[in-house]
């Protein structure tokens, strides 16, 4: 089995924000989960470096567009490192190889007679890099950014997107999982009831873009360049990775770019004769606790690199994954993060490890005793439900079930009172707790990779895959190695 997952590629016109980090985090958990299932995974992320928005930002910073994106894209790479994102490739749309593929696809569609030269007049939002019709505007402004749109008029190539309308509707009808969650699929189906216009796919009033292969006075429209990263990232058309991994299993994106990833991307693929991705998966937006929508252009941004310096990154990952039901919008606040760190990570998970290891040290000379897994405790692990939640992209529920099991283990200690036991009874309890911790450690690998590694190391177990999540694999006699506390409680004044 293979699993190919992508995130949107970020505009490096500004600094990375929490929304960027959140998207990479969710994709990371899914990529790691599928590796955990034993599948061959390819995980792609990167930066979207062409277009007017980048050009304007470069100018503002007194740099050439190329110098500017070189500098900015490093910050997004650093974000991946600091947040422990396990991407297999970081693609930049200014890479030669990507540019070649973007041109190849443009040319292919042109040669099929699906692209023609015309003139565009319309309203353009540079922040979205998208044309709008008068009726789409909110109070005369961009519906996403609330900014004035520019009136543009220039020579442009057009892709005959309009003629794909029925094909797109049929595809949506037939493929239930093509857009997830369900409501988003309905949203696109409804929008497709209206007229579908041809798409302007080139710009001629500036030059920071992929040159149109048939007319060097034009550059490819930034979306006609950026979307193609999903196939250039696996070396379309002849690369091994393309053959092995395409079609993508999941394109993970935010709700503001759903139209681009379905109607635009799918019709480009249809025109180029390339298979369509299996699922476009939409996550929610993160807002700050003041209720303000986080937005680069409005400057209400939380710096995810600073967060990674300030807190244990697994506490940040945990907070976002548990706090926000996947697919819905959510709030970020440091107070709520600290509360979950203290109540759930320190008090439940950290405490469970600490108590268990202390007892093994005290009563069993630091070696896991051989024993029998307690069937009552074993039954508290809802492995099938965890798998099902992951299949349905309910990351928050899967993680909730794993943490629920840790809570059951703490209750088990309170009920069994091992400090009152001796002999076989004591050994069985400590063995059961070690086994439970081993399975918790394994299951946490996709979510909190550093913490999982620490847990497994401290109880003398190996990293492993889903098939190791059954009880009875520890033999007894493994030396435990109590390490530093997993999660420090954070004091608030
Ligand atoms: O749209 N919360 O780039 P981008 C959660 N380059 N996610 C958010 C968010 C928030 N507050 N704000 C933005 C682009 N996002 C294009 C994509 S793909 C071929 C080209 C998400 O930097 C947003 O929905 O504006 C998108 O999925 C991603 O961050 C990058 O946004």
Query: Who contacts 414 (Cβ-Cβ below 8 Å, separation ≥6)?
Result: none
Q: Which atom of ligand 1 is nearest to the CA of 286?
A: 2
Distance (Å, rounded) from C-alpha 25 to C-alpha 47? Answer: 16
Q: Which atom of ligand 1 is nearest to the CA of 226?
A: 19
Distance (Å, rounded) from C-alpha 432 to C-alpha 29? Answer: 27
pLDDT (mean) for 457-471: 97
What class does CATH assign to 2-307? alpha beta
296 is catalytic: yes
pLDDT digits (tens, 9 = 90+) for 180-225: 999 999 999 999 999 999 999 999 989 999 999 999 999 999 999 9
Query: Would you say the CB of residue 254 lies under 6 angstroms from ligand 1?
Result: yes
Query: Who contacts 128 (Cβ-Cβ below 8 Å, separation ≥6)?
Result: 142, 144, 145, 256
Query: Would you say the CB of residue 396 lies under 6 angstroms from ligand 1?
Result: no
pLDDT of residue 294: 60
Query: Would you say the CB of residue 15 lies under 6 angstroms from ligand 1?
Result: no
Q: Which atom of ligand 1 is nearest to the CA of 48?
A: 6
Half-sphere exposure of 77 (CA within 13 A, CB side): 11
20 is catalytic: yes
- Name the residue of 5, 7, 9, 10 whose CB sits within 8 Å of the most ligand 1 atoms, as the mutation to test its pocket: 10
pLDDT digits (tens, 9 = 90+) for 156-168: 999 999 999 999 9
Distance (Å, rounded) from C-alpha 75 to C-alpha 13? Answer: 11
pLDDT digits (tens, 9 = 90+) for 220-235: 999 999 999 999 999 9
- Name the residue of 12, 14, 19 whose CB sits within 8 Å of the most ligand 1 atoms, as the mutation to test its pocket: 19
Return the number of other C-beta atoms located less than 10 Å from residue 133's C-beta. Answer: 11
Total-model pTM: 0.95
Q: By alpha-carbon position, which residue is closest to atom 30 of ligand 1?
A: 10
Q: How far apart are the first and last CA of the chain?
A: 51
pLDDT digits (tens, 9 = 90+) for 317-365: 999 999 999 999 999 999 999 999 999 999 999 999 999 999 999 999 9
Which residue in the block uniquely carries the two structure tokens 């979207």? Answer: 48
CA 139 remoteness from chain centre: 33
Query: Would you say the CB of residue 331 lies under 6 angstroms from ligand 1?
Result: no
Distance (Å, rounded) from C-alpha 432 to C-alpha 192? Answer: 56
Measured in degrees and rounded to the nearest 5, phi and psi for residue 129 equal 55, 50
Is the model's pLDDT at 439 over the cut of 90? yes
The DSSP call for residue 328 is S
C-alpha of residue 20 to centroid of ligand 1, in Å? 6
125 is catalytic: yes
CA 60 remoteness from chain centre: 30
Half-sphere exposure of 352 (CA within 13 A, CB side): 26
pLDDT (mean) for 466-487: 95
C-alpha of residue 7 to centroid of ligand 1, in Å? 9
pLDDT digits (tens, 9 = 90+) for 283-312: 999 987 655 556 555 555 689 999 999 999
251 is catalytic: no
| Per-domain residue ranges of the chain | 2-307, 334-468
Q: Which atom of ligand 1 is nearest to the CA of 255?
A: 24
Q: Of 296, 389, 401, 416, which residue is the catalytic one? A: 296
Q: Is 228 exposed, middle or buried (0-12, 13-18, 19+ CB in 10 A)?
A: buried
pLDDT (mean) for 83-98: 98
**Domain covering 334-468 assigned CATH 1.10.287.610 in the classification:** no
Q: Which atom of ligand 1 is nearest to the CA of 47?
A: 6
* Strand (E) or helix (H) holding 42: strand 40-47
pLDDT digits (tens, 9 = 90+) for 342-352: 999 999 999 99
Asked if residue 286 lies in contact with residue 323, where contact means CB atoms within 8 angstroms, the answer is: no
pLDDT band at 266 (very low <50, low <70, confident <90, very high): very high
| Sign for the pseudo-dihedral over CA of 429, 435, 439, 445 | positive
Q: Of 24, 50, 53, 128, which residue is the catalytic one? A: 128
């Amino acid at each position: 089995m293979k699993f190919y997952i992508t995130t949107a590629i970020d505009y490096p016109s500004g600094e990375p924000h929490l929304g960027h980090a959140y998207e990479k985090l969710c994709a990371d958990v899914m990529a790691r989960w599928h590796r955990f299932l034993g599948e061959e995974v390819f995980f792609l992320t990167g930066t979207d470096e062409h277009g007017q928005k980048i050009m304007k930002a470069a100018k503002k910073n007194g740099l050439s567009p190329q110098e500017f994106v070189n500098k900015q894209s490093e910050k997004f790479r650093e974000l991946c490192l600091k947040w422990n994102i396990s991407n297999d490739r970081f693609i930049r749309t200014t890479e030669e190889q990507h540019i070649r593929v973007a041109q190849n696809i443009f040319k292919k569609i042109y040669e099929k007679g699906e692209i023609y030269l015309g003139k565009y007049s319309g309203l353009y939002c540079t922040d979205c890099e998208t044309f709008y019709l008068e009726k789409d505007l909110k109070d005369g402004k961009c519906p996403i950014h609330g900014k004035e749109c520019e009136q543009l008029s220039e020579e442009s190539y057009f892709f005959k997107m309009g003629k794909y309308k029925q094909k797109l509707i049929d595809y949506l009808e037939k493929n239930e999982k093509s857009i997830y969650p369900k409501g988003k699929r309905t949203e696109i189906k409804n929008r497709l009831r209206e007229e579908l216009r041809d798409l302007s796919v080139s710009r001629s009033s500036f030059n920071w873009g992929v040159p149109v292969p048939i007319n060097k006075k034009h550059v490819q429209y930034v979306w006609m360049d950026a979307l193609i990263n999903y196939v250039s990232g696996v070396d379309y058309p002849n690369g091994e990775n393309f053959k092995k991994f395409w079609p993508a299993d999941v394109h993970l994106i935010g709700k503001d770019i759903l139209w681009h990833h379905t109607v635009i991307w799918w019709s480009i693929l249809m025109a180029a004769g390339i298979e369509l991705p299996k699922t476009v998966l939409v996550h929610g937006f993160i807002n700050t606790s003041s209720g303000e929508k986080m937005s680069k252009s409005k400057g209400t941004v939380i710096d995810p690199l600073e967060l990674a310096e300030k807190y244990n990154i697994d506490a940040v990952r945990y907070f976002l994954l548990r706090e926000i039901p996947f697919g819905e919008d959510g709030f970020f606040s440091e107070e709520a993060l600290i509360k979950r760190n203290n109540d759930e990570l320190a008090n439940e998970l950290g405490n469970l490890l600490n108590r268990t290891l202390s007892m093994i040290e005290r009563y069993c000379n630091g070696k896991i005793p051989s024993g029998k897994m307690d069937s009552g405790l074993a039954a508290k692990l809802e492995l099938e439900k965890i798998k099902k939640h992951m299949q349905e992209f309910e990351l928050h529920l899967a993680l909730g079930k794993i943490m629920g099991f840790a809570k059951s283990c703490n209750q088990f200690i309170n009920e069994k009172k091992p400090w009152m036991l001796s002999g076989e009874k004591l050994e069985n309890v400590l063995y059961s707790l070690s086994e439970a911790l081993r399975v918790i450690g394994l299951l946490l690998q996709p979510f909190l990779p550093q913490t999982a590694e620490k847990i497994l190391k401290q109880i003398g177990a190996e990293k492993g895959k889903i098939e190791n999540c059954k009880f009875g694999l520890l033999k007894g006699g493994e030396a435990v190695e109590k390490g530093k506390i997993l999660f420090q409680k954070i004091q608030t004044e």
